[in-house]
Structure 1
């Protein structure tokens, strides 16, 4: 039984058309596209038996093949990355134990996040999927609040129960805290890292479930699992000195490039 990483990528993003092909400059001045950086992040993970880019766009497919990625072509009907992964799974056969969805807008995802994610799903037999959460420091919390104040849809936050089962995910900053925090101080807010590890049966069922009001309001695909009564395991991960941010809007490009430079990532 294998663990497969799928990187879903679409060109027609409503907030950032062509986002997978946007270029990011690294610490050495080298420019690589978002999809290539996400694929290279996946290649650092020893737990993966195979890595595929799943897309419905020939431009993304041709570019992914140019840097050595395997590509699975999917339909234009997929409404989000999870549905695209479900389509891709049907091309992979029945010997897949875990499918990891590394969203194509998360090039800063460290390999230990993904290894911890796979281990977390295996440790919780009742969970349909697992997803990482990262405790915000004061600097990250301020950045999340600044996005919301400016009317930008930025990072997602998560709340979980004592057993680390997800209670809710939101584009708002939750839970509320009116306290001030130093840049390097821990806060009670968790940044959701947009990566998922699914069990095959749950992933196959996902497209058949109705899109509920919470998923519709928040625009967050993982809420469909909660609205369907599925157990979502949150896996707390540690930054270990790495910065993390997703590319949600064009304004995120300089922020991520600054993080690449600060961490010395090429």
Structure 2
């Protein structure tokens, strides 16, 4: 019998921007260093109502590290171009057809459990693809703009309809406003949090559609869904005072370790 809800953590070693990223050590509040992939796995385990968690990789170094801290590992095809393709490949190799598949990307270790729970609820309510968006604060907006100013790829922004359906995602800061924001102002821009929930049927359509120019140009896998007319439901989430940041570049290590210390995450 297939599990109803699964989380798959896709992880590859040969990242263009940050080779070996899943095995990078991050020191938490206790002073202990844990790898990025272990911290992402721990984040997945904190989500309630999930029947199984798998690390999906094509690299034995990541697989060995994941097995060492107790994770279930599924080896996937080296030809998988992105995390969504790796999730689909993992499902096929596991021989399961769950109701909800969550792709918790391996660099999103600070993802709060309630972000993932909100996506699961969206799929259960009828969405086929769902992803969280977080309104930028003036501070995080400035960080996004600074990253782009120096030519560094930072977080991704999302633009949506009034009904919360995705119009576009970009590594540029969209919408462009050309200004900064005071601490008391509301920023009209949203951070796309790199987590997805899908139905198996939506995943199968993604694979059969094949890569599109937009996803290749931006380096954003979710644009394949939009290009081929598959709606993506953007679920606005509340950070509840927690700082969210992905590990995109080596410069992010210090930022994330500071958050781990500040929030008492061991």
TM-score of the superposition, structure 2-length normalised?
Answer: 0.96
Residues 74 and 94, structure 2, Cα contact 8 Å, conserved in 1: no
Shift of 1:180: 2.7
After the TM superposition, which residues 1-266 of structure 1 pair with which residues of structure 2 at under 5 Å, given as runs? 2-123=4-125, 125=126, 127-183=127-183, 185-266=185-266
How far apart are 1:265 and its partner, in Å?
Answer: 1.3
CA contact (8 A) 1:121 1:233 kept: no
Whose strand proportion is higher, 1 or 2?
1
Tell me, yes or no, if the aligned pair for 1:101 and 1:196 is still in contact at 8 Å. Answer: yes
- Runs of 4 or more, structure 1, over 2 Å off, are 91-95, 182-186
Q: Contact 2:12–2:22 (CA<8 Å) still a contact in 1?
A: yes
Q: Say which SS state the counterpart of residue 244 (structure 2) adopts.
A: coil
Change (3 A) 1:78 1:188: same
Once the two structures are superposed, what CA deviation does each residue of 1:152-173 show, in whole Å capped at 9, x if it has no partner? Answer: 1110000110111000000000
Deviation at 1:186, TM superposition (A): 3.0
Q: Is the Cα contact below 8 Å between 2:131 and 2:197 reproduced in 1?
A: yes
Structure 1: unaligned runs, 5 residues or longer = none
Describe the superposition over 1:104-146 as per-residue Cα deviations: whole angstroms up to 9, x where unpaired.
Answer: 00110000000011112222x2x33100000000010011011
Residue range with higher mean Cα deviation, 49-58 or 196-205: 196-205
Cα distance in 2 for partners of 1:181, 1:251 equals: 24
Shift, 1:184, TM fit: 6.2
SS in structure 1 at match of 2:197: strand
Partner SS state of residue 19, structure 2? coil
Q: Figure out how many residues of one structure are paired with residues of the other and give that number.
A: 264
Unaligned runs of 5+ in 2: none
Distance 1:35 1:240 in 2: 24
Distance 1:82 1:249 in 2: 21
Q: What secondary structure is seen at the aligned counterpart in 2 of 1:187?
A: coil
Query: Deviations 1:217-242 (Å, cap 9, x if unpaired)?
Result: 10100000000100100000000011
With over 3 angstroms needed to count, the CA separation of the structure-2 counterparts of 1:105 and 1:4, relative to structure 1, is same
Per the normalisation by structure 1, the TM-score is 0.96
CA RMSD of aligned residues (A): 1.2
User: Distance between the aligned counterparts of 1:132 and 1:185, measured in 2?
Assistant: 22
